């Protein structure tokens, strides 16, 4: 039963993220827009490139979707409303999302096209940039909760949300999350404009539909992970717990989707340099700071 | 318990199968990712054996490592897509012998030592993480810290070797300009 409810939440959430994305890109709010696009994709011919690596071409989008769904499995929507509350939940989220990289390399390599190939390998570089900035802020979050269990992480924020407790970690995590979900200005693997769609370039029809759906799920998972780690998850007054999760997640997703639109796309090398030189130093400082606060102030 | 054994066998066979695929395919990327899925299957075996932290860690680390390996294999090989049907195996006789010796050694390690009584109960996953933490920051701290420092030194050294010295690049620029 819980699995069915969470899956339904993921479907509805992914749809709403698609509505938000459409709004941020085209400037028009349309609740039916993504459904129309999806139907159009289903009706279109699904082309196959010449001499593809067929296995990777077919498996890439599906693996991407599976990675997103596995990530969603460890995120609590309300007390008790979680597919599996693993003792290593926060780490498991990372493990699941590491396969976003594998899926994009497969999807980029599969069709045997230059744009896809470059897009897929670009994401590897992007991964090297954002990976540490996902893991290290989570370390600080787990330090405060004294647990890797995601429900425990939410409960540790009863007195004070982590966004106030470790604002530096929040900023680092959100930016890294945008890199993971390849949202502008970090949309290097798809890069409309300079890579003609990149990883998505050779996909059409149903396969493109799955790829897009998977990306929406990943954006949703990153937004809800931000809510779980920094915005007190389901905690909040008056409204039921699940409603708070939903509202916060949609607000974070909207901020991620709209915020990046106003920044020019970051070049690969520059992104790596900033992430390693500035980002990692700041995350280490964040860990130190949180450690000191956790030892001195009991909140 | 039976279900556990069935799953363990399943993931074990999957790990071996993907290991075989590594050498049977022609494509460098397929080879690298087959090794990744072999390692992922080993991670799944850890999960079946209720070593949750180790399993999740294995599954996470391998995704990155094997992907990085894949790009190096693509960069250095002449036929990364395997369209020329390149053979992944070489030095077959030596490899066969080395494989046989390895197998015998592994079997000896499995059968010969006295492993002691089988643990009747497994600590809970949360307890395991705590125990692992105490181990890493206690008895094994020196080993892990020195290993970490060694790897860091190697990383810094490798990066320094890869970057051309400033003066050299400046001179080259000057020559090209002239």
Q: Is the pLDDT of residue B177 over 80?
A: no
Asked if A57 has any chain B CB less than 8 Å from its own CB, the reply is no
Q: What tokens were used for A243?
A: 């409603």
Residue A213 reports pLDDT greater than 60? yes
Among chain A residues, the shortest Cα distance to B83 is held by A51
Alpha-carbon dihedral sign for residues A21, A24, A27, A28: positive
Q: State how far residue A95 is from chain B, nearest Cα, in angstroms.
A: 4
Express as a percent the part of chain A with pLDDT over 90.
62
- Of the pLDDT bands very low, low, confident and very high (cuts 50, 70, 90), residue B174 is low
Q: Is A61 within 8 Å of A211 (Cβ atoms)?
A: yes
Residue of A nearest to B28 (CA): A109
A75 is written with which tokens? 């995120």
- If you average pLDDT over residues B26-50, what whole number do you get? 92
- Total domains in the fold of chain B: 2
Residue whose entry in the numeric block shows the structure tokens 């190939």: A117
DSSP helix/strand/coil, A78: strand
Q: Report the distance separating Cα B46 and Cα A258, nearest Å.
A: 41
Give the number of other CB atoms < 10 A from CB of residue B106: 10
Among B22, B46, B81, identify where a domain stops: B81
Distance CA B9, CA B19 (A): 15
Please tell me whether residues B76 and B3 are part of one structural domain.
yes
Contact B64 A147 (CB under 8 A): no
B77 and B3 share one domain: yes
CB A19 within 8 A of CB A216: no
Q: Mean per-residue pLDDT for A46-69?
A: 89
Q: If you search the block for the tokens 């693997």, which residue do you land on?
A: A189
Q: Are residues B76 and B137 in the same domain?
A: no
pLDDT-derived band at B168, boundaries 50, 70, 90: low
Mean pLDDT of A55-71: 93
Q: Is residue B170 predicted with pLDDT exceeding 70?
A: no
Q: Within this chain, do residues B137 and B61 fall inside the same structural domain, yes or no?
A: no
CA distance A8 to A294: 38
* Mean of all residue pLDDT scores within chain B: 87
Of A7-11, A26-30, A81-85, minimum mean pLDDT range:
A26-30
Task: Extract the tokens encoding B130.
Answer: 């705590």
Burial-class residue B117 by CB neighbours within 10 Å (0-12, 13-18, 19+). exposed
Residue B96 domain-assigned? no
Q: How far apart are the first and last CA of chain B?
A: 76
CB contact under 8 A, A127 and B64: yes
Please identify, among B40, B57, B81, the residue that sits at the C-terminal boundary of a domain: B81
Q: How far apart are the C-alpha atoms of A162 and A141, rounded to whole Å?
A: 7
CA distance B15 to B62: 13
Asked if residue B1 and residue B77 are part of one domain, the reply reads: yes
Is A292 exposed, middle or buried, given 0-12, 13-18 or 19+ CB atoms closer than 10 A?
exposed
Q: Are B73 and B36 contacting, i.e. CB atoms less than 8 angstroms apart?
A: no
Q: Are residues B75 and B151 in the same domain?
A: no
Res A184: pLDDT: 86
Neighbours of A37 (CB within 10 A): 15
**Measured between CB atoms, which of B30, B33, B125 is closest to A102?**
B33
pLDDT tens track for A136-177: 999 999 999 989 999 999 999 998 999 999 999 999 999 999
- Compute how many other C-beta atoms are within 10 angstroms of the C-beta atom of residue A72: 25
What was the pLDDT predicted at B85?
77
Nearest to B63 among A51, A86, A99 (CB): A99
Cis amide leading into A68 (omega within 30): no
Cross-chain residue pair A91–B128, CB shorter than 8 Å = no
Within a domain: B26: yes
Say if B170 falls within a structural domain: no
Q: What is the mean pLDDT of chain A?
A: 91
Residue B176 lies in a domain: no
B3 & B75 share domain: yes
Out of B40, B56, B81, pick the residue that ends a domain: B81
- Would B10 be classed as within a structural domain? yes
Q: How far is A8 from A2, CA to CA, in rounded Å? A: 10
Domain presence at residue B109: no
pLDDT score for B175: 52
Q: Is residue B169 part of a domain?
A: no
Among all chains, which residue has been given the structure tokens 């002691």? B116
In a shared domain, residues B1 and B61: yes
Q: Chain B contacts of A95, Cβ < 8 Å?
A: 56-57, 59-60, 63
The answer to whether position B102 is within a domain reads no
Using pLDDT thresholds of 50, 70 and 90, give the confidence band for residue B178: very low
**Chain B partners of A147 at a C-beta cutoff of 8 Å?**
126
Domain that holds residue B18: 1-81
Distance of CA A246 to the CA centre of its chain: 16
Q: pLDDT tens-digit profile of A105-129?
A: 999 998 888 898 899 999 999 999 9
| Rg, chain A, Cα only | 19
């Amino acid at each position: 039963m819980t699995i069915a409810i969470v899956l339904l939440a993921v479907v509805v959430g992914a749809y709403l993220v698609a509505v938000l994305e459409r709004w941020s890109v085209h400037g028009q709010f349309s609740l039916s827009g993504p459904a129309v696009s999806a139907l159009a994709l289903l009706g279109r011919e699904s082309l196959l490139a010449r001499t593809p690596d067929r296995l990777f071409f077919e498996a890439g989008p599906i693996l991407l979707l599976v990675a997103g769904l596995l990530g969603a499995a460890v995120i609590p929507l309300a007390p008790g409303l979680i597919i599996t509350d693993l003792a290593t939940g926060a780490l498991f989220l990372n493990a699941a999302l590491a396969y976003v990289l594998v899926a994009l390399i497969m999807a980029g390599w599969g069709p045997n096209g230059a744009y896809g190939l470059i897009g897929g390998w670009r994401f590897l570089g992007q991964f090297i940039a954002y990976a540490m900035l996902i893991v290290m802020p989570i370390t600080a979050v787990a330090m405060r909760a004294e647990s890797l269990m995601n429900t425990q992480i939410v409960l540790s924020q009863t007195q004070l949300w982590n966004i106030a407790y470790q604002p530096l970690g929040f900023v680092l995590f959100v930016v890294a999350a945008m890199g993971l979900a390849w949202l502008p200005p970090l949309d290097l693997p798809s890069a409309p404009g300079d890579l003609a769609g990149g990883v998505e370039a050779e996909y059409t029809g149903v396969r493109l539909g799955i790829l897009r759906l998977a990306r929406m799920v990943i954006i949703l998972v990153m937004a809800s992970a931000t809510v779980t780690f920094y915005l007190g998850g389901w905690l909040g007054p008056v409204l039921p717990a699940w409603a708070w999760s939903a509202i916060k997640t949609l607000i974070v997703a909207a901020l991620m989707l709209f915020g990046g639109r106003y920044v020019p796309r970051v070049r690969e090398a520059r992104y790596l340099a900033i992430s390693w030189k500035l980002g990692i130093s700041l995350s280490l400082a964040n860990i130190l700071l949180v450690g000191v606060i956790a030892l001195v102030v009991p909140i | 318990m039976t279900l556990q054994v069935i799953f363990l066998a399943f993931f074990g066979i999957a790990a071996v199968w993907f290991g075989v695929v590594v050498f049977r395919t022609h494509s460098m990327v397929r080879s690298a990712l087959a090794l990744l899925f072999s390692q992922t299957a080993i991670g799944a075996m850890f999960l079946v054996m209720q070593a949750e932290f180790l399993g999740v860690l294995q599954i996470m680390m391998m995704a990155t490592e094997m992907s990085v390996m894949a790009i190096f294999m693509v960069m250095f090989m002449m036929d990364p897509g395997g369209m020329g049907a390149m053979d992944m195996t070489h030095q077959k006789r030596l490899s066969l012998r080395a494989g046989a010796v390895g197998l015998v050694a592994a079997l000896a390690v499995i059968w010969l030592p006295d492993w002691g009584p089988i643990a009747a109960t497994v600590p809970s996953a949360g307890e395991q993480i705590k125990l692992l933490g105490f181990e890493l920051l206690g008895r094994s701290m020196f080993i892990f810290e020195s290993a970490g420092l060694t790897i860091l030194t190697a990383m810094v050294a490798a990066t320094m070797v890869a970057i051309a010295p400033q003066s050299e690049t400046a001179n080259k620029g000057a020559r090209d300009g002239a």
